[in-house]
Amino acid sequence: MAYELYYWPGIQGRGEFVRLALEEAGADYIDVARGPAREDAGVGALMAVLERESITHPPFAPPFLKDGDVVIGQTAAILLYLGDRHALAPRDAEKRLWVHQIQLTIADLVAEAHDTHHPLGADLYYEEQKPEALRRAKHFRQERIPKYLNWFESILARNPKGDKHLVGKRVSYADLSLFQIVEGLLYAFPRGTKTSLAEVPRVEALHQRIAQRPRIRAYLNSGRRLAFNEQGIFRHYPELDG
């Protein structure tokens, strides 16, 4: 039975980390909320799950994944689940937890990237918080992007199995997520990110290698890959790129 992924249509957002894992796994899945507006598809189907009182494990917010009767929310938890099922994480318990720890730090970075354009909160438009966004984005570009990228670089440099993957000698969902982070940062802050990437050659090489993996390349060239835009997490507002 195909997985059902539930996420807001029209943006990559947090759902994209799940999509990349499903695509690399070659898994059969339905991107439910991008389907036609019927009872069992579209945003209505997503809202129906969020509001269904018979669900024992209700997700707090999208993305969430349905695997038969199992419903899982929280991006990192979904990836923990998929990692085991599709060999996108090591079997060894300590390394498996390490992949997850990296993913949780990526989640923190994603939240910070979102806050650059919405420092005052998601209940106001960007245009209503532009001075604060300018300040926040500057700090993010100058301090946070380098700090995170250097951390990923050090992980690659220290991997006992070589610097081709974050953990072990096979691709994991954390590698796929780091690819997506670099893509997103390059879209949102092209100037600042290119400067920072020049200092972390292992991260940049990983980013390029992931893009060339056959299933990922096919996905990126397909209609299933949405373009970045200014409704998502990574938004390109030139004024925020310094």
Binding site for a second copy (CB under 8 A): 53, 55-60, 70, 72-74, 76-77, 80-81, 94, 97-98, 100-101, 104-105, 108, 111, 115, 119-121, 123, 132, 135-136, 139, 143, 148, 151, 154-155, 158-160
Tell me the closest approach of the beta carbon of residue 91 to a second copy, in angstroms. Answer: 14
Q: Cα 21–235–182 angle (5° rounding)?
A: 45
Q: Are strands 70-73 and 3-6 parallel, antiparallel or unpaired?
A: unpaired
Residue 116 or 180 having the CB closest to a second copy: 116
Q: Are strands 3-6 and 64-67 parallel, antiparallel or unpaired?
A: antiparallel
Q: How far apart are CA 56 and CA 236, in angstroms?
A: 39
Tell me the closest approach of the beta carbon of residue 163 to a second copy, in angstroms. Answer: 13
Residue 151 or 219 having the CB closest to a second copy: 151
Residue 135 or 215 having the CB closest to a second copy: 135
Tell me the closest approach of the beta carbon of residue 58 to a second copy, in angstroms. Answer: 6
First to last CA, the chain: 48
Tell me the closest approach of the beta carbon of residue 218 to a second copy, in angstroms. Answer: 30
In 118-232, alpha helices (H): 130-139, 145-158, 173-188, 190-197, 201-211, 214-220
Residue 54 or 221 having the CB closest to a second copy: 54
